[in-house]
Amino acid sequence: MLTVLFTVAATYSFAQYDKYYYFNRGRENLINSRYAHAIIDFNVLIQADSSLHEGYFFRGIAKYNLNDYIGALYDFNKALHINPVYTHAYHYRAITLSQLNRFDEAMKDYQTAIDLRPDLQGIYFSRGITYLMSQKFDESIEDFNTYLKKEPHAGDAYVNRGTAYLMKHDTIKALENYNKALYYNSFDPNAFIRRARIFAMQNDNKRALKDLDNAIKMDSASSFVYFNRALVRYNLNDIYGALDDLTKVLELDPDNALSYYNRALIRSQIGDYNKALEDYEQVMAINPQNVLVYFNRAAVEIELKDYYAAIADYTKAIELYPDFATAYMNRSYVKNQIGQYASAKKDYDIAQQKITQYRKDASDSTFSLFADTSKTFNKLLALDADFTKKTFSNKLENRKIEFMIQPQFKFTAEAPKSTLALDKQYFFPPIDEFLNRPELRNVALSNQIIEIDNIAVARLDSISEILMKMDNSKEKALGYFIKGISQGQLKQYSSAINYYNKAIELDPGNIFYYINRSASQSEMIEFISNIESSMPKLSLDNEIMGVKNPVNQKKYDYKEAITDLDKTERLNPNFAYLHYNRGNLMCLSNKMPEAVDSYTTAIKQYPYFAEAYFNRGLILIYLRDTERGCMDVSKSGELGVTGAYAIIKKYCLNEE
């Protein structure tokens, strides 16, 4: 968690009480870790006075704590643009740049902050961590030395300095620092974990286990600790204890590929082959390009005498790593088992050629690893600094990604007013004019999903019955429209569409009738899709776009729904919601560039369109334009989409 001394801003002189109120409430929300609420408060403050650098600064702190580093960087930049000598903004911008692996820029900011305020010890602590992250261990130690001269009882500084020594392979000094950390803070789980790893490196697994047990007492929700303890228990031949710990990791962190992989290895070793295969399937879903998984799964398939599956997996491993001599050798063995002797001989000869070649260049450890032995593949993979990325082996990307786009806008039974964009609500005069009719006092334009309210439906039905009996064609059309709304609320989509058809036939110039008919048409398709498989989702898979389970996936045609939006545009092209809805339909039709264009048009017409930023951001991430996508998702979070920060945390951290 990123914290800041709130006393730095205690001398403000605001012209209005409202500024005091929102500033103080925003700080209070920060102190109490209510970061999304804090952002809303600082949004109001910034809207009231955009010249207050403190508003941007504290909003940046809130975004940082929601893992929105791109958004935080934007705010710290704004703060420094307004006040170029604001030390705290340089300090925390440096921390943010470090999280984005932009170390050179971070170091410049740290130096500027030190030049401005050399007495602020926290800057040395933060820079020490950045040096540690950038593998400049001597510089890191020097900064922690400076910090500890003024703060000699700071346990976390000893932990970090100990880690720097450990990275220099000085286990004696590392252990001294971890011991000091625990002397000053005997309840620090991180110090126990770090010290345990040194004990494990020294094969003192009993002492390592004791430290990890203590760490779990301090923090029972840390997957990091359970993973380490699994390795130590395995080294102590407590196989089932190791399995229990890996299972606990996966309860806390269901997408942790490393834990699935290690659990698969253990299950293979104890003969639980079917469960091992299940774990390998999970790893493949997360890291489909990981050569280790195919190689090891083939060994399990051999035990189950599923030789053709084993050949397929060895073949895939060779495709991923064409110089994988051991895979050729093992595939040769399997082919011999099923009588493919000529092909087996060919694989054997290729393996021998590669091994001979690699032994000529013994200095290349990668070659010798893949050529000479499978020993490494059958060992548990130890925890490294990338554990929290849920990936292993050359930082393979996580492809097991699914999320839901924000829904379409339509007229519905009155829904709660949106809290998004604060006082920057969308202004489109025809909406106000339309909804000012007394017959529509219980109707709202919204994209919120609301529960069926039988009283609200009955109220709409009674109004529609009166209007549908009138002689005036436009009044009658309005009655059909309201009846369509009530039918849509009940998920009677065919009936709703029929009523919208009648409304449009009587009043073809009303753009809102097309909006709702389009929405009902697409909702009917989604409803059918939900019955046949699962709700349509945007999936960041290399090949799959659509429902969660692509097997027997059907394609659905949104052409009629899109046609209605085209008619709306011809009647009034300046309606931001129609472009937003079209973006959704283009997305569901797997027309991603067109979806991006539609959301962009919507944002141009309504610059505070939070849902449009969110959806465009998701699609840009899907299209691998991660930086722009994360900026969009960050903007949507700033405007009030609370789900944005879960996306940022999962897909926008440490992109390289």
Report whether pLDDT(527) > 70.
no
Residue type, 246: L
Say yes or no: 535 and 416 in one domain: yes
- Residue 473, helix vs strand vs coil: helix
Report whether pLDDT(385) > 50.
no
| Amino acid 526: pLDDT | 75
CA 180 to CA 154: how far, in whole Å?
Answer: 9
Identify whether 2 is part of a domain: no
- Phi, psi torsion values for 456, nearest 5 degrees: -65, -40
Please give the average per-residue pLDDT across 635-640, as a whole number: 91
CA 431 to CA 635: how far, in whole Å?
Answer: 26
Say yes or no: 411 and 311 in one domain: no
Identify whether 509 is part of a domain: yes
Identify whether 492 is part of a domain: yes
Say yes or no: 466 and 589 in one domain: yes
| Amino acid 611: pLDDT | 93
Say yes or no: 430 and 382 in one domain: no
Say yes or no: 374 and 425 in one domain: no
How many domains are contained in the chain?
Answer: 2
**291/521: higher pLDDT:** 521
Report whether pLDDT(374) > 60.
no
| Amino acid 380: pLDDT | 62
Q: Which two tokens stand for residue 544?
A: 């799959």
Residues ≥6 apart with Cβ < 8 Å to 378: 265, 296
Residue type, 579: H
Report whether pLDDT(196) > 70.
yes
Of 389, 423, 440, which residue is a domain's last? 389
Say yes or no: 351 and 321 in one domain: yes
CA 622 to CA 616: how far, in whole Å?
Answer: 10
CA 152 to CA 184: how far, in whole Å?
Answer: 9
| Amino acid 548: pLDDT | 31
Q: Which two tokens stand for residue 463?
A: 């109004």
Identify whether 549 is part of a domain: yes
Report whether pLDDT(552) > 70.
no
Please give the average per-residue pLDDT across 550-568, as a whole number: 74
CATH number of the domain residue 421 falls in: 1.25.40.10
Angle formed at CA 466 by CA 463 and CA 469, multiple of 5 degrees = 145
443 neighbors 435 (Cβ within 8 angstroms): yes
Report whether pLDDT(534) > 80.
no
Say yes or no: 331 and 412 in one domain: no
Q: How confident is the model at residue 482 (pLDDT cuts 50, 70, 90)?
A: very high
Identify whether 637 is part of a domain: no
CA 204 to CA 189: how far, in whole Å?
Answer: 19
Identify whether 61 is part of a domain: no
Going from the C-alpha of 228 to that of each of 188, 246, 376, the distances in angstroms are: 16, 9, 18
Identify whether 459 is part of a domain: yes
Report whether pLDDT(6) > 90.
no
93 neighbors 71 (Cβ within 8 angstroms): no
Q: Which two tokens stand for residue 108?
A: 């410049």
Q: Tell me: the pLDDT tens digits for 31-65? A: 888 899 999 999 989 988 899 999 999 999 999 99
CA 443 to CA 412: how far, in whole Å?
Answer: 6
Please give the average per-residue pLDDT across 368-393, as a whole number: 44
Number of H helices, E strands in the chain: 32, 4
- Residue 445, helix vs strand vs coil: strand
| Token pair 């539609």: residue | 598
Say yes or no: 345 and 262 in one domain: yes
Report whether pLDDT(544) > 50.
no
| Amino acid 53: pLDDT | 93
Say yes or no: 429 and 552 in one domain: yes
Burial class (CB in 10 A: 0-12, 13-18, 19+), 88: buried
Write out the residue range of the structural domain in which residue 585 sits: 403-623
Q: Tell me: the pLDDT tens digits for 293-349? A: 899 999 999 999 999 999 999 999 888 878 788 899 999 999 999 999 999 999 999
Give the residue ranges of DSSP H helices in 287-428: 291-303, 307-320, 325-337, 341-360, 365-372
| Amino acid 42: pLDDT | 92
Report whether pLDDT(392) > 90.
no
Q: Which of 125-129, 226-230, 323-327 has the lowest mean pLDDT?
A: 323-327
| Amino acid 571: pLDDT | 95
Going from the C-alpha of 68 to that of each of 35, 39, 44, 80, 637, the distances in angstroms are: 11, 12, 19, 18, 9
Q: Which of 53, 51, 73 lies closest to 9 in space, CA to CA?
A: 53
**292/226: higher pLDDT:** 226
CA 380 to CA 93: how far, in whole Å?
Answer: 38
Say yes or no: 341 and 364 in one domain: yes
Identify whether 246 is part of a domain: no
First to last CA, the chain: 23
Q: Which of 22, 147, 265 lies closest to 160 in space, CA to CA?
A: 147
Going from the C-alpha of 565 to that of each of 177, 517, 519, 573, the distances in angstroms are: 66, 9, 9, 10
64 neighbors 126 (Cβ within 8 angstroms): no
Residue type, 473: S
Angle formed at CA 388 by CA 386 and CA 394, multiple of 5 degrees = 35
CA 517 to CA 558: how far, in whole Å?
Answer: 12
Q: Round the average pLDDT of the chain to a whole number and report it.
A: 84
Most confident of 14-18, 261-265, 449-453: 261-265
Q: How confident is the model at residue 633 (pLDDT cuts 50, 70, 90)?
A: very high
Say yes or no: 292 and 375 in one domain: yes
Of 326, 355, 389, which residue is a domain's last? 389
| Token pair 């390998």: residue | 280
Print burial letters for 462-494: b (CB count within 10 Å at least 16), e (below 16). Answer: ebbeebbeeeeeebbbbbbbbbbbbbbbeebbe
Q: What is the DSSP string of 256-323?
A: -HHHHHHHHHHHHHTT-HHHHHHHHHHHHHH-TT-HHHHHHHHHHHHHTT-HHHHHHHHHHHHHH-TT
Positive or negative CA dihedral for 79, 83, 84, 85?
A: negative
Query: What is the distance, to the nearest Å, from the Cα of residue 43 to the centroid of all Cα atoms in its chain?
Result: 24
Q: Tell me: the pLDDT tens digits for 638-653? A: 998 888 988 888 888 7
Say yes or no: 353 and 486 in one domain: no
Q: Which of 637, 613, 635, 617 lies closest to 38 in space, CA to CA?
A: 637
